[in-house]
Amino acid sequence: MAADNLTAPALADLLTKVITGVEGGAEGHWREIVGPIHRLPIIDNVRSNWSVIPGGTRRERDVIGKAAEVVRQAHPYVRR
């Protein structure tokens, strides 16, 4: 893993900013429903070592899932 990998909280903030930029709305609302970024064991998750289990409505969860895939392309790994 590269030294410039984001921490889980920084990744959650980035994900929130991406979503707010595209969808609009209050950043605080999106940050709350994005929830925490979960760090996964790299041995079992070679493509990416993080996941997010969002709250919100079905549409909001879809938006977060799509944004997570976009962000994952640039930041597949989180550090401790």
Helix (H, G, I), strand (E, B) or coil at 79: strand
68 assigned to some structural domain: yes
Show the domain range for 69: 6-79
The Cβ-side half-sphere exposure at 59, using a 13 Å CA radius, reads 1
20 assigned to some structural domain: yes
38 assigned to some structural domain: yes
Burial class from Cβ neighbours inside 10 Å (0-12, 13-18, 19+) for residue 80 reads exposed
Radius of gyration of the chain (CA): 12
Q: In percent, how much of the chain has pLDDT > 90? A: 86
50 assigned to some structural domain: yes
What pLDDT band is residue 60 in, cutting at 50, 70 and 90? very high
40 assigned to some structural domain: yes
Using one digit for the tens of pLDDT, what is the confidence trace for 30-56? 999 999 999 999 998 899 999 999 999
Domains identified in the chain, total number: 1
Residue 20 in tokens: 């707010």
Q: What is the pLDDT of residue 73?
A: 95
Q: Which amino acid is at 58?
A: R
1 assigned to some structural domain: no
